[in-house]
């Protein structure tokens, strides 16, 4: 179903499993798709280069926006190599992979760029299911941000979250339905230790990704 086939979309894109699946979802839904990748002092700059490579494979215009300021404001283990990454969520708080304000900032930048380019649709791979429970990945936050951006810029943006209610197994399933299972499996970088595809196998991102993949493959019978 191509509900928006006459319109354009901007995808918040990191080259990981989720945003790559979203990129191909958007390519199927919209007339033109654009990829926006943020740098914010990630430990692994190859994440950005890999995102560029995947966008080229997908024949999607790719733009990098520097948002490094966010890592100067709040210490987190994604950008500070001296911090040991939480492998489990500490009781009563968020793991130190949480970057406070990140998704609000990114959506604001994305909407600003979309405004300038006459794009109305934004796509982001956040999800409430199966994740660390980051507050800015929740549906209620996205709805609130959407309303705020529309008021701030006097536009009718639509933020699409095709993964919101999908667990990792179902994200693999969506990639398969979109015909890009092998691309997502072999070319994306999700691992916090910067290792492509199957990753290091023990960081929180790898554990989620690989568990979902095993579950999906068991279900698919492959």
Select from 15, 41, 125, 199 the one that contacts Zn ion (CB under 5 A). Answer: 199
Nearest to Zn ion of 57, 200 (CB atom)? 200
- With H, G, I as helix, E, B as strand and everything else as coil, classify residue 35: strand
- 161 within 8 A of 24, measured Cβ to Cβ: no
Task: Point out which span in 23-31, 89-97, 154-162, 192-200 binds Zn ion (CB under 5 A).
Answer: 192-200
Residue 14: partners with Cβ closer than 8 Å, 6 or more residues away: 37, 38, 47, 51
Contact flags string 151-190 toward Zn ion, x per CB under 5 A: ----------------------------------------
- Integer Cα distance of 144 and 74 in angstroms: 23
CB of 112 to Zn ion, least distance (A): 33
Nearest to Zn ion of 100, 198 (CB atom)? 198
Select from 159, 174, 191, 213 the one that contacts Zn ion (CB under 5 A). Answer: 191
CB of 203 to Zn ion, least distance (A): 3
- Integer Cα distance of 42 and 102 in angstroms: 12
Angle at 109 between CA 138 and CA 101, to 5 degrees: 45
123: β partners: 11, 160
Task: Point out which span in 74-82, 153-161, 202-210, 213-221 binds Zn ion (CB under 5 A).
Answer: 202-210
- Integer Cα distance of 198 and 190 in angstroms: 8
Task: Point out which span in 73-81, 118-126, 175-183, 206-214 binds Zn ion (CB under 5 A).
Answer: 206-214
Reading phi first (left if > 0) and then psi (alpha if -120 to 50, else beta), residue 153 is in: alpha
Select from 110, 206, 208, 213 the one that contacts Zn ion (CB under 5 A). Answer: 206
* Using rule CB under 5 A, residue 87 touches Zn ion: no
Select from 12, 99, 203, 208 the one that contacts Zn ion (CB under 5 A). Answer: 203
CA atoms within 13 A on the CB side of 80: 17
* Using rule CB under 5 A, residue 193 touches Zn ion: yes
What does the binding site for Zn ion look like in residue numbers (CB under 5 A)? Answer: 191, 193, 199-200, 203, 206
């Amino acid at each position: 179903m191509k509900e928006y086939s006459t319109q354009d979309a901007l995808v918040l894109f990191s080259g990981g499993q989720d945003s790559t699946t979203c990129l191909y979802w958007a390519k199927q839904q919209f007339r033109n798709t654009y990829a926006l990748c943020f740098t914010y002092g990630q430990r692994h700059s190859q994440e950005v280069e890999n995102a560029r490579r995947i966008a080229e494979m997908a024949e999607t215009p790719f733009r990098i926006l520097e948002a490094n300021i966010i890592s100067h404001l709040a210490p987190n283990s994604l950008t500070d190599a001296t911090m040991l990454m939480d492998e489990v969520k500490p009781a009563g708080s968020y793991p130190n992979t949480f970057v406070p304000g990140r998704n609000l900032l990114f959506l604001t930048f994305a909407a600003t760029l979309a405004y300038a380019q006459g794009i109305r649709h934004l796509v982001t791979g956040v999800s409430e299911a199966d994740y660390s429970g980051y507050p800015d990945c929740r549906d209620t936050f996205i709805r609130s941000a959407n309303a705020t951006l529309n008021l701030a810029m006097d536009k009718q943006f639509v933020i699409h979250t095709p993964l919101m209610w999908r667990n990792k197994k179902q994200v693999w399933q969506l990639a398969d339905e979109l015909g890009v299972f092998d691309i997502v499996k072999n070319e994306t970088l999700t691992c916090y230790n910067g290792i492509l595809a199957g990753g290091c196998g023990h960081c929180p991102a790898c554990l989620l990704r690989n568990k979902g993949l095993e579950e999906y493959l068991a279900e698919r019978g492959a």
